[in-house]
Amino acid sequence: MSTLVGKKAPVFKANAVINGNDIVENYSLDQFIGSKYVVFFFYPLDFTFVCPTELLAFQAKLAEFEKRNTAVVGCSVDSQFSHWAWLNTEKNQGGIKGVTYPIVADLSKTIAENYGVLAGEYDIDEEGKSIFVGGPVAYRGLFLIDKNGVVRHQLVNDLPLGRSIDEALRMVDALAHFEEYGEVCPANWSEGKDAMTASANGVADYLSKH
């Protein structure tokens, strides 16, 4: 697995479900270039256990991302029809009804593979047949993509480990602060706290105050 930070986010066009109910073709993140940040995250499978807690948690904070001019987009190796069914299943039945941000279908697993989060790989067996070794699902990968389509932050969790939505928001804030003020963000920085200039004097000044 290689890092994508500092590189252009891999381009794709795929089926997706938007607004919780509408299936669209050729969905692409390219629509946000020049206008919005994107938090693009992968999860293993629909109708599982940790996954609905994450997707619903992103929805609960969706207004906070929107205030920051940030699009949230999910993706798994399920089909658009599985996404649609899950999105239309009540929460008390294991569904994620109420989620409105787009969820991309990566049935071919090529998007997860291109982003380096596929929990396995294709190989050839002794008979020359193509096989899949490992888990044919995506790790819990998250990518913060800037308005130029460049990945600026990347986080990958193993399958049992749910993510912090607040940390994703913090990373958006840090990127926006750097772009607006040119200041870098130290450890545990959050909006409203002191940042610093990227220089020896800037570091010394910051450390002397903290």
Summarize pLDDT for 169-200 with one digit per residue, the tens: 999 999 999 999 999 999 999 999 989 888 87
**Which band of pLDDT confidence, cut at 50, 70 and 90, is reported for residue 162?**
very high
102-106, 120-124, 135-139: the lowest-pLDDT one? 120-124
Look at residue 205 and tell me whether its pLDDT is greater than 70.
yes
Q: Helix, strand, coil shares of the chain as percentages rounded to 5?
A: 30, 30, 40
Taking residues 41-60, report their average pLDDT. Answer: 97
Q: State pTM to two decimals.
A: 0.94
Look at residue 2 and tell me whether its pLDDT is greater than 80.
no
Q: Are 46 and 54 in contact (CB under 8 A)?
A: no
Q: Which of 97-111, 123-137, 181-195 has the highest average model confidence (pLDDT)? A: 97-111
Catalytic residues: 51
Q: What are phi and psi of 103, to 5 degrees?
A: -125, 120
Taking residues 129-135, report their average pLDDT. Answer: 84
Long-range residue pairs from 145-149, CB within 8 A, at least 24 positions apart, any chain: 145/9, 145/29, 145/32, 145/37, 145/38, 145/39, 145/40, 146/37, 146/175, 146/179, 147/32, 147/33, 147/34, 147/35, 147/36, 147/37, 148/33, 148/34, 149/8, 149/9, 149/29, 149/30, 149/33
- Sequence ranges of the chain with CATH classification 3.40.30.10: 14-163
Q: DSSP 3-state assignment of 104?
A: strand
CATH of 14-163, one of 3.30.70.360, 1.20.58.340, 3.40.50.720, 3.40.30.10: 3.40.30.10
Look at residue 1 and tell me whether its pLDDT is greater than 60.
no
Q: Which residues pair with 73 in a beta bridge?
A: 40
